[in-house]
Amino acid sequence: MSEKHGQGVTRRDLLGTGIKVATIGGLAGVAGRVAVGGGVVTAAGLPGAAQASGNADVPPGQLDEYYGFWSGGHSGEVRVLGLPSMRELMRIPVFNRESASGWGLTNESKKILSEGLTPETKEYLKKQGMVTFDHGDTHHPRMSYTDGAYDGRYVFINDKANTRIARIRCDIMKTDKVLEIPNAHAIHGLRLQRFPKTGYVFCNSEMRIPLPNDGTNMNDPKKYVGMFSAVDADTMKVAWQVMVSGNLDNNDSDYHGKYVAATCYNSEEGVTTAEMTGSPTDHAVFFNIKEIEAAVKAGKVKTISGVPVVDGRKEAKSQFTRYIPVANSPHGCNATPDGKYVVLNGKLSPTVTVVEWAKLDDLFAGKIAEKDCIVANPELGLGPLHTTFDGRGNCYTSVFLDSQIVKWNMADAIKQYSGDKSVNPVRQKLDVHYQVGHTNASMAESKEADGKWLVALCKFSKDRFLNVGPLKPENDQLIDISGDEMKLVHDGPTFAEPHDAIIVHKSKVNPVEIYNPNDPLFADLHAQAKKDGVELGKASVVIRDKKDSKKVRVYMFSQAPAFSMTDFTVKKGDEVTVIVTNIDDIVDLTHGFTMVGHNVCMEVGPQASASITFKADRVGVQYYYCQWFCHALHMEMQGRMLVEA
């Protein structure tokens, strides 16, 4: 693309430090509007931005057409955006600690964060004086499926930093399960079974480790093992695992419930960068789900840490896996919504490799060679990372080093590979800013890809926004793909790290607005209240435990603008558990409970209950208050804990 765009203005002038409205307004040929950083400015000659065929302007009072589920990267959370406005609607705490809601402080969230940890990790954390980890690194949010279509039940997300995955309930937008994967190290790639429904969550262990990793076999990396895991999506327990050769990166599943593919680097099985990139090729691993399930059912497995494990390494030559050679250090792994192909992205090669799912039947049967499964290998640019789709036969690949989204046609790529050199599959290259990682189009991870919008999640913003110091924001860009050409329509900063995202039509998601008081989230509180002879939402009482006199439970309820209990008395050193039920049944009337100076804070939504436990070690008057604005007399919604010496 040329650096000049008329009137002697360079691309840097237009897309560099920030778009100057006055300058742009004076340019000839003013056309279109582009939303930049949340605002709307006139764009003239802006490459890829003018005359977008879709309408990204969502005025106040109107609702977006799509939900966007964004990974928060090393913030450890998942963010919910509205598209196409790109307005941030919600931050869902997952692996992080969150002050506003008390996630990581309440008893309910601590249980969710800790109950899925392995015994070894629980013992380690206990020695550190911790209940669970204090951070996470979220990468790949994916919504559950029924017959290849989003069903709005759950969003699953990985934690690379601590080898965990989590499940988020879409009806309440809250995390309800967290699981640490045993026999693995650093869960990176996460995708879901699409057919007949999401029975499995497929997890890639990126780092290779000895098994068991007990310090006895550390010095021979050739004996380290990579691990592919299938987690039961309903029980959130590991169903089975497969040992593999190399470091697993990303994965994706087919639309028939038969196969899963995973890109894999470090086929050399080294531990340094030089050792891991010595070979000109690596491979993609293809897993045969039915064969693995049959072996598990027949007991033809090793049991490691209580999990059935089969050997799918290259040297095992098993019926569980096949290894298809691809260019060195492959990265992205993306299944096409028509169910026919999976695209493996090169990273260190300018090409992507297309494998046809249907050919895997003959490959596993020994009728064809691995290379015969490859049907296209288009050259797109420097550093292809991830590919998404519009449902019309076009593919969109993020190219990291070139800082571009490349649109190409699958049918033409197949023709070119089959020998028709007159065909060029590339349709357009659009500059994005800068060094784009993941890209995802609306509904593109399902069979209902609709080809309206695409997000480019850029790793750097450099000079695009106001200087905020050495740590710069990253950059989300929204691109209209509904027409023949891609059009950039939004440019906005985002905090670390917008690693990956999915765009889901609003018709697929139906969150409730008021909790069911009998939701399973509150089951433990109901059980304890029953033991204490009280009823949640009606009790306003202090109960001292009969077996342990130092434990005190305080039951109260909230109704704007007051707590049912305006003061209670405990003794210094008591372990106090406060249980609050919000009896308001009005939409958007959330209460909170914060105890000044005690590291106590929790959110209590309408008709919800929550609890938090702490030591009453400060003598005297200790105030508590509602920290979520709820009423004109919100400031008066407070009470006193009286701590006797």
Using the predicted structure, report yes or no on whether residue 8 has a pLDDT greater than 70.
Answer: no
How much is the pLDDT for 615?
A: 98
d(CA 320, CA 242): 8
What average pLDDT does range 316-329 have in this prediction?
96
Give the model's confidence band at 421: pLDDT under 50 very low, under 70 low, under 90 confident, else very high.
very high
Contacts of 575 by beta carbon, 8 Å cutoff, 6+ apart: 550, 551, 552, 613, 614, 615, 616
CB 243 within 8 A of CB 313: yes
Topology of domain 66-96+135-508 in CATH is Methylamine Dehydrogenase; Chain H (2.130.10)
pLDDT of residue 55: 78
What is 399-414 written as a DSSP string? ETTTTEEEEEEHHHHH
Q: What are phi and psi of 641, to 5 degrees?
A: -100, 120
Q: Measured in Å, how far apart are the chain's first and last C-alpha atoms?
A: 75
Which of 14-18, 311-315, 432-436, 469-473 has the weakest average pLDDT? 14-18
Tens-digit pLDDT profile for residues 501-528? 999 999 999 999 999 999 999 999 999 9
Q: What is the DSSP string of 433-463?
A: SS-EEEEEEBTTTSTT---SEEEEEES--TT
pLDDT at 389: 98
Whole-angstrom distance, CA of residue 242 vs CA of residue 229 = 6
Domain 520-644 CATH assignment equals 3.30.230.10 = no
Cα–Cα distances in angstroms (integers) from residue 221 to residues 64, 204, 212, 459, in the given order: 50, 19, 13, 32
Rounded to an integer, the average pLDDT of 154-162 is: 98
What is the pLDDT, as a whole number, of residue 484? 96
Q: How far is CA 100 from the centre of its chain?
A: 21
Give every CB contact of residue 504 below 8 A, 6+ residues apart in sequence.
Answer: 66, 67, 68, 69, 143, 150, 152, 443
Secondary structure element (H or E) that encloses residue 273, with its range:
helix 273-276
State mean pLDDT over 126-153.
97
Is the confidence at residue 218, as pLDDT, over 70? yes
| Mean pLDDT over the full length of the chain | 91
Is the pLDDT at 3 greater than 80? The verdict is no
Q: What average pLDDT does this structure show over 328-332?
A: 94
Q: Residue 599, exposed/middle/buried by CB under 10 A (0-12, 13-18, 19+)?
A: exposed
Question: Do 372 and 288 contact (CB within 8 A), yes or no?
Answer: no
CA distances from 246 to 206, 217, 327 (A): 9, 18, 14
Q: What is the pLDDT of residue 109?
A: 98
What is the Rg, in whole angstroms, of the alpha carbon atoms belonging to the chain?
Answer: 27
Q: Give the residue-averaged pLDDT of 342-350.
A: 95
User: Which helix (H) or strand (E) element contains residue 297?
Assistant: helix 289-298
pLDDT digits (tens, 9 = 90+) for 86-126: 999 999 999 999 999 999 999 999 999 999 999 999 999 99
What span, in angstroms and rounded, lies between the C-alpha atoms of 324 and 262?
10
For residue 9, is pLDDT > 60?
no
Q: What is the pLDDT of residue 4?
A: 34
Instruction: Answer whether residue 19 shows pLDDT above 90.
Output: no
What was the pLDDT predicted at 496?
A: 85
Question: Which are the contacts of 97, defined by CB distance < 8 A and separation ≥ 6?
Answer: 103, 104, 105, 134
User: Residue 190 above 60 pLDDT?
Assistant: yes
pLDDT digits (tens, 9 = 90+) for 588-634: 999 999 999 999 999 999 999 999 999 999 999 999 999 999 999 99
In this prediction the pTM is 0.91
- State residue 498's pLDDT score: 85
Q: What is the pLDDT of residues 256-308, one digit of tens each?
A: 999 999 999 999 999 999 999 989 899 999 999 999 999 999 999 999 999 99
Domain span(s) for CATH 2.60.40.420 in the chain: 520-644
Q: How does DSSP classify residue 197?
A: B
pLDDT band at 52 (very low <50, low <70, confident <90, very high): very low
Buried b (16+ CB within 10 A) or exposed e, 546-561: eeeeeebbbbbbbbbb
Give the pLDDT confidence score for residue 54 in this predicted structure. 62
Which residues touch 578 (CB under 8 Å, ≥6 apart)?
Answer: 554, 556, 593, 595, 600, 611, 612, 613, 624
Q: Which residues of the chain does CATH 2.130.10.10 include?
A: 66-96+135-508
What pLDDT was estimated at residue 32?
Answer: 30
Among 50, 45, 49, 37, which residue's Cα sits nearest to residue 10?
45
Q: What is the mean pLDDT of residues 189-213?
A: 97
Q: 428: pLDDT confidence band, cut at 50, 70 and 90? A: very high
pLDDT tens per residue, range 28-40: 222 233 333 333 3
| Residue 499 DSSP symbol | -
Strand order in the sheet with 341-345: 333-335, 341-345, 352-356, 374-376
Which are the contacts of 203, defined by CB distance < 8 A and separation ≥ 6? Answer: 158, 165, 181, 184, 187, 189, 190, 228, 229, 230, 231
293 three-class SS: helix
pLDDT in tens, 478-502: 999 999 999 999 999 998 888 999 9
Would you give the DSSP letter of residue 181? P
* Residue 44 scores a pLDDT above 50: no
Tell which wins on pLDDT, 35 or 174: 174
Share of the chain above pLDDT 90, in %: 88
CA-to-CA dists, residue 142 to 385, 422, 513, 540, angstroms:
18, 38, 23, 42
